[in-house]
Amino acid sequence: NGKRMQVSYICAKYDPVKAKWKEGCETIYNSAKPSDGVLCLCSHNTSFAVLMSAYEIDRGFAEVQSYLTYVLLGISIVSLILTLVFLLPAKALRSTRSAKTN
């Protein structure tokens, strides 16, 4: 369907009186690599859980991110080609040297 999704994690505690989850803990996780896990730092011993929420990334942000990726990838490839062009003809840099030390 072409939608880009982002996942957000929230550590929350359960309020039995209101029958709702409330944010009451500090949530620590790596958004780039959520498979590393989620850490909840709570100052209480009541019931708490990690709530997961998926939301769509803004289309404008996703397009800018894609263009930026292509530009940076192009610069990287051009830099690699220039490195090869300048280093391959330089035989002095590719030859092995031995030095005698007394």
Distance CA 13, CA 10 (A): 10
Could you say which DSSP state residue 25 is in? S
Q: With beta carbons less than 8 A apart as the criterion, state whether 28 and 42 touch.
A: no
pLDDT for 78: 97
Q: With beta carbons less than 8 A apart as the criterion, state whether 36 and 78 touch.
A: no
Query: What is 34-85 written as a DSSP string?
Result: GGG-EEEE-SS-S-EEEEEEEEEPPHHHHHHHHHHHHHHHHHHHHHHHHHHH
**Residue of higher predicted confidence among 51 and 67:** 67
- Which tens digits make up the pLDDT trace of 25-66? 888 888 777 678 888 887 777 777 788 877 777 777 778 888
